Structure 1
Amino acid sequence: MDSPGEWTAAALFSPSKARAQQAQAREWQAVDSWLAKSYGNRLPAFERNEETLQALLMLANVNEDADEHHFLTEKLGRQALLASGKASAGQDDAYHTLFESLGSLGREHLETMAFLAAELGTADTKEMARGTSDLTTRNFELAEQVSQVEVQRASLQRETDWVRVMLDGLRSGRFMPAKSLAEQTAEWTRASKQLKTKLVEYDERASALRASTNTTPSLNEVSDQANSLAIQQDRLTGLRSELSAYEGLPSDPITAKAKIEAARTALRKSTVERDRLFEELAEAS
């Protein structure tokens, strides 16, 4: 340990070191008290350092736990004797005699009960029985939970292995994208934009068509449309009659004009021939 002068100087310049030294001093005080209680003046000189302090502290704690365990064992034995009516509070000699006569197995059972009483915090046999039952139930529940967790862990491990196999397969060459994927994607994007434009146009047309077809015409409008349809049909008939004269003409305009001119020439010849025949008929009469 540090000397008082060193301790005071360290405390002045380092509060944290001062607190550590104070704690160490309290620990040495507890160790010295336990050594004096256990060995009295028969304690030999020894080196005081950190390792020795920690070892003595551990030994003192173990010794105190053993003393407490022994005390609880004796207390439980006395209560058992008092409960059975075989001993009174002043019959310590009878208790020690009975304790020694239990044998190793009996003392082991008694120590087990003492340990259980210490763990449960009671020496009442009914409370100990109830606590033991609760601990057994809790132990069974925890064992079942551990079993379920193990089953779930095994299932998760199988799924993890399966996912890893799938991932390795996806990383293989079979799932590599084609070299023309970028060009195809660009082409699909352009086509998609064009289709969207057409779709908007078709929607507008459909809306206009629905708006026009949703109106219900009146009787006068139907009559006017019927008259207009009849006029259009008459006009169509006349146009068909006019067009029938041009049937058989070739589609080429030059050839068609030549054919029309030939027909006109033939018509003039026929007219001249008709006039000549008419004149001859008139002279003969």
Structure 2
Amino acid sequence: MAHRLADNSAAIFSPSVARIAASTARDWSYVDAWLASKSPAWKSSLPPFERNQDTLKALLALVSINEAADDQRRLLARVDATALQGLSAHDRAEMPSSSSSSNNNNNNNSSSSNSGGNTALTKGHLLDAIEHSLPKDGANALNVLTAVASEAAATASPDPDHIGRLMLRLQGRIYGAEQTAARVDALERHLQRETEAAEELLHTLQSDGYKPPSDLAKQNLDVQRRIKTVSAQLPDLHDRVTALAASVATPHPAIGDVIELEQQYQALLFHVRELSEQLAALSQQGAR
């Protein structure tokens, strides 16, 4: 018991375990502070069942990404503010000279307006003015729309022939997709039929007709007993067969014996023929 207590105390007061626990506590404190700063709903602590290493790792990654994005936005805002201050200072520096020159220009413009009239703004000047007047979000949205229009070939090049070719190509793709869907449906129906047939076969194989008899174990034991009995009788039967084969003499006729038997057979045939002729002659005499 004392040994177990010593081991437990060593495990509890281990420097490495304490260091890991302190690091984990600092990470959770940092994550809790970040969540509370982002939303009032996160002022309360996370539930205990969500305080694990996976959740902590995911939240730390989220905090890191969010802080990097915040730093980038702050840097862009600082650059915009610096540029705005520079433009404001430049405008203030040029304002006195521009006021004096504007008076001269007004005099000149009044004379020229009487002779030639105001110059109309071109389409390019108008588009440039709109583009320069857009805020940063508007410029980003315009760039996105431009990219989308470039991706859409029909919008980027409104040529009727080109649009017709695109429509034909699209119709071909639609037809191919429909054919593929039809083949997939046919394959699905075939698989469904095969599945139903397999289920029916499985149900048939699991029926009582294919189940082994209840006394199969007893029959197996009887067959094994018979096999052992016959196996024990095999040497005796083999000896009997050998003795019978030795006692029974198997005839082996020679060629001369065969010739002699053939001659006797032919003589008997000749004798039978003679007897037949004699019987025929006697029958004719009796008929007379």
Give TM-score scaled by structure 1 length.
0.31
Give TM-score scaled by structure 2 length.
0.31
**Which has the greater radius of gyration?**
1
